[in-house]
Chains A and B, each alone.
Chain A
Amino acid sequence: MVSLKASGKLFKSCLLTAGAVALFALPAQAIEKQLTVVTSFPKDLTTAFKTAFEKANPGVKVEMLKKKTTAGVKYIQETASNNSADLFWASAPDAFEVLKGDGLLQKYEVKATGIPDIIGSYPINDPDGFYKGFAGAGYGIMWNTRYLKAKKIPAPAEWSDLTKAVYHGHTGMSAPSRSGTTHLTVETILQGEGWDNGWKMMKEIAGNFHTVTERSFGVPDGVNSGQFGVGIVIDFFGLSSMGSGFPVEFVYPTVTTLVPANIGMVKSAPHPEAAAAFIEFLLSQEGQEMLFNPKIRRLPVRPEIYAKAPKDFPNPFTDSSIGAAVKFNVIKSKDRYNLVNAMFDVMITYRLDDLREATKAVQEAEKAQAGKNNEKAVAMIAEARALIAALPIDEAKSMDKEFAAIFKKKRKKATDKVTGRQAEVEQQWDAVVKGNYAKAKSLAKKAASL
Chain B
Amino acid sequence: MQRSRNAYIVATFLAFFLLVFLVVPVFKVIYVAFQDSATGALTLVNFIDFFKTSLFQESFFNSLYVAGMSVLLASLFALPLAYFTSRFNFGGTLLIQTLGIVPLIMPPFVGAVAMQLLFGSNGSVNLLLDDWFGFTIPFMEGLNGVILVEGIHYFPFILINLSAALANIDRSVEEAAQNLGSSGFRLFRRIVFPLAMPGYLAGASLVFLKAFDDLGTPLLLNVNNMLAPQAYLRISSIGISDPMGYVISVILVVFSLLSLWAAALATKGKDYTTAGKGTGGLLKRDMRSFEKAGAYAVIILLLILVLSPHIGLALLSFGTIWSYAVLPDGFTTAHYMEVFNTSGEFITNTMFYAGIAALFDVAFGTAIAYVVLRTDVIGRKWLDYVGTGAIAVPGVVLGIGYLRTFNDFNVPFIDKPLASWWVIIIIALAVRRLPYALRACTAALQQVSISLEEASENLGANKATTVRKIVVPLMAGGMVAGFVTSFATAAVELSATLMLVTSESDAPLAYGIYVYMQSAAGRGPGAALGIVAVVVVALGTYLAHHFIERNKKMQISTPGK
Which residues on the A side are within 8 Å of B392 (C-beta)?
Answer: none
Produce 1/0 per residue, A162-180, CB < 8 A to B: 0000000000000101101
A40 to chain B, nearest CB (A): 8
Please tell me which stretch of A25-33, A51-59, A113-121, A427-435 contacts chain B, meaning at least 4 of its Cβ atoms lie within 8 angstroms of it: A427-435
Please tell me which stretch of A266-274, A315-323, A416-424, A436-444 contacts chain B, meaning at least 4 of its Cβ atoms lie within 8 angstroms of it: A416-424
Q: Give chain A interface residues in 146-203, CB to chain B under 8 Å.
A: 146-147, 150, 175, 177-178, 180
Query: Within 8 Å of chain B (Cβ to Cβ): is A262?
Result: no
Contact B504 A63 (CB under 8 A): yes
Query: Within 8 Å of chain B (Cβ to Cβ): is A295?
Result: yes
Query: Within 8 Å of chain B (Cβ to Cβ): is A211?
Result: yes
Partner among A66, A222, A243 whose Cβ is within 8 Å of the Cβ of B518? A66
Produce 1/0 per residue, B51-67, CB < 8 A to A: 01111000000000000
Contact A407 B240 (CB under 8 A): yes
Chain B contact residue count (CB 8 A cutoff):
69
Contact A427 B37 (CB under 8 A): no
Partner among B55, B120, B238 whose Cβ is within 8 Å of the Cβ of A95? B238
B342 to chain A, nearest CB (A): 9
| Bound form: Cα–Cα A212–B52 in Å | 25
Query: Within 8 Å of chain A (Cβ to Cβ): is B376?
Result: no
Produce 1/0 per residue, B210-236, CB < 8 A to A: 000000000100101100010001001
Produce 1/0 per residue, A327-363, CB < 8 A to B: 0000000000110010001000110110000000000
Query: Within 8 Å of chain B (Cβ to Cβ): is A84?
Result: yes
Which residues on the B side are within 8 Å of A225 (C-beta)?
Answer: 113, 116-117, 120, 122, 322-324
Partner among A241, A337, A417 whose Cβ is within 8 Å of the Cβ of B38? A417
B32 to chain A, nearest CB (A): 10
Contact A70 B237 (CB under 8 A): yes
Most B-side CB within 10 Å, residue of A79, A247, A349: A79
Contact A147 B53 (CB under 8 A): no
| Bound form: Cα–Cα A144–B321 in Å | 13
Which residues on the B side are within 8 Å of A409 (C-beta)?
Answer: 37, 240-242
| Bound form: Cα–Cα A6–B302 in Å | 58
B535 to chain A, nearest CB (A): 22
Produce 1/0 per residue, B458-483, CB < 8 A to A: 00000000000000000000000000
Contact B324 A144 (CB under 8 A): yes
Query: Within 8 Å of chain A (Cβ to Cβ): is B283?
Result: no
Q: Give chain A interface residues in 64-80, CB to chain B under 8 Å.
A: 64-71, 73-75, 78-79
Query: Within 8 Å of chain B (Cβ to Cβ): is A289?
Result: no
Query: Within 8 Å of chain B (Cβ to Cβ): is A108?
Result: no
| Bound form: Cα–Cα A418–B523 in Å | 45
Q: Give chain B interface residues in 305-326, CB to chain A under 8 Å.
A: 320-325
Query: Within 8 Å of chain A (Cβ to Cβ): is B543?
Result: no
| Bound form: Cα–Cα A224–B40 in Å | 47
Chain B: CB-nearest residue to A222: B116
Which residues on the B side are within 8 Å of A144 (C-beta)?
Answer: 323-324
With contacts A92-B238, A94-B239, A144-B324 taken as known, whether A43 is within 8 angstroms of B519 at the C-beta atoms is: yes
Contact A410 B520 (CB under 8 A): no
| Bound form: Cα–Cα A5–B417 in Å | 15
Partner among A43, A84, A212, A221 whose Cβ is within 8 Å of the Cβ of B502? A84
Contact B521 A82 (CB under 8 A): no
| Bound form: Cα–Cα A426–B52 in Å | 11
Contact A241 B520 (CB under 8 A): yes
Chain A: CB-nearest residue to B417: A82
Contact A98 B239 (CB under 8 A): yes
| Bound form: Cα–Cα A44–B244 in Å | 37
Query: Within 8 Å of chain A (Cβ to Cβ): is B289?
Result: no
Query: Within 8 Å of chain A (Cβ to Cβ): is B125?
Result: no
B257 to chain A, nearest CB (A): 24
| Bound form: Cα–Cα A13–B235 in Å | 30
| Bound form: Cα–Cα A341–B405 in Å | 30
B526 to chain A, nearest CB (A): 10
With contacts A226-B122, A226-B325, A247-B323 taken as known, whether A410 is within 8 angstroms of B239 at the C-beta atoms is: yes
Which residues on the A side are within 8 Å of B241 (C-beta)?
Answer: 409-410
Most A-side CB within 10 Å, residue of B321, B322, B323: B323
| Bound form: Cα–Cα A147–B511 in Å | 32
Contact A227 B122 (CB under 8 A): yes
Contact B503 A65 (CB under 8 A): yes
With contacts A42-B515, A79-B417, A84-B420 taken as known, whether A427 is within 8 angstroms of B54 at the C-beta atoms is: yes
Partner among A40, A424, A430 whose Cβ is within 8 Å of the Cβ of B55? A430
With contacts A84-B502, A98-B238 taken as known, whether A218 is within 8 angstroms of B407 at the C-beta atoms is: no
Partner among A94, A217, A244 whose Cβ is within 8 Å of the Cβ of B238? A94
Partner among B419, B499, B501, B516 whose Cβ is within 8 Å of the Cβ of A74? B499
Please tell me which stretch of B42-50, B74-82, B167-175 contacts chain A, meaning at least 4 of its Cβ atoms lie within 8 angstroms of it: B42-50
B139 to chain A, nearest CB (A): 12
Query: Within 8 Å of chain A (Cβ to Cβ): is B34?
Result: no
| Bound form: Cα–Cα A42–B521 in Å | 10
Query: Within 8 Å of chain A (Cβ to Cβ): is B400?
Result: yes
Query: Within 8 Å of chain A (Cβ to Cβ): is B443?
Result: no
Most B-side CB within 10 Å, residue of A82, A84, A144, A248: A82
Query: Within 8 Å of chain A (Cβ to Cβ): is B403?
Result: yes
Query: Within 8 Å of chain B (Cβ to Cβ): is A245?
Result: yes
Query: Within 8 Å of chain A (Cβ to Cβ): is B517?
Result: yes
Produce 1/0 per residue, A204-225, CB < 8 A to B: 0000001111100110111011
Produce 1/0 per residue, B495-524, CB < 8 A to A: 000110111100000010011111111110
Contact B238 A421 (CB under 8 A): no
Chain A: CB-nearest residue to B218: A214
Partner among B49, B240, B420 whose Cβ is within 8 Å of the Cβ of A79? B420
Produce 1/0 per residue, A342-386, CB < 8 A to B: 000100011011000000000000000000000000000000000
| Bound form: Cα–Cα A75–B38 in Å | 26
| Bound form: Cα–Cα A146–B326 in Å | 12
Contact B40 A414 (CB under 8 A): yes
A177 to chain B, nearest CB (A): 5
Contact A43 B516 (CB under 8 A): yes
| Bound form: Cα–Cα A352–B223 in Å | 10
Contact A177 B233 (CB under 8 A): yes
B311 to chain A, nearest CB (A): 16
Contact B236 A70 (CB under 8 A): yes
A74 to chain B, nearest CB (A): 6
A236 to chain B, nearest CB (A): 9
Which residues on the A side are within 8 Å of B243 (C-beta)?
Answer: 423
| Bound form: Cα–Cα A6–B521 in Å | 42
A438 to chain B, nearest CB (A): 13
Chain A: CB-nearest residue to B244: A423
Contact B520 A237 (CB under 8 A): yes
A51 to chain B, nearest CB (A): 12
| Bound form: Cα–Cα A210–B323 in Å | 17
| Bound form: Cα–Cα A248–B519 in Å | 14
| Bound form: Cα–Cα A97–B233 in Å | 20
Contact A411 B37 (CB under 8 A): yes
Contact B503 A147 (CB under 8 A): no
Query: Within 8 Å of chain A (Cβ to Cβ): is B550?
Result: no
Produce 1/0 per residue, A401-415, CB < 8 A to B: 000000111110010
Contact A418 B420 (CB under 8 A): no
Query: Within 8 Å of chain A (Cβ to Cβ): is B121?
Result: yes
A276 to chain B, nearest CB (A): 21
Contact B515 A423 (CB under 8 A): no
Please, could you name 15 A-B residue pairs with CB atoms under 8 Å apart, sorted by A?
A: A65-B502, A97-B239, A144-B324, A146-B325, A178-B237, A217-B519, A221-B517, A222-B116, A243-B520, A244-B519, A409-B240, A411-B37, A414-B40, A418-B38, A421-B45
Q: A66-B514, A240-B520, A427-B55 are in contact. List 11 more A-B contacts (CB 8 A).
A: A43-B519, A65-B502, A95-B238, A147-B324, A177-B233, A224-B520, A227-B121, A228-B122, A243-B521, A352-B224, A430-B53
B residues in contact (CB < 8 Å) with A: 37-40, 45-46, 49-50, 52-55, 113, 116-117, 120-123, 142, 219, 222, 224-225, 229, 233, 236-244, 320-325, 396, 399-400, 403-404, 407-408, 410, 417, 419-420, 498-499, 501-504, 511, 514-523
Top 7 A-B residue pairs of the complex, sorted by shortest distance between their CB atoms: A226-B324, A42-B519, A78-B403, A42-B518, A423-B49, A241-B520, A244-B521
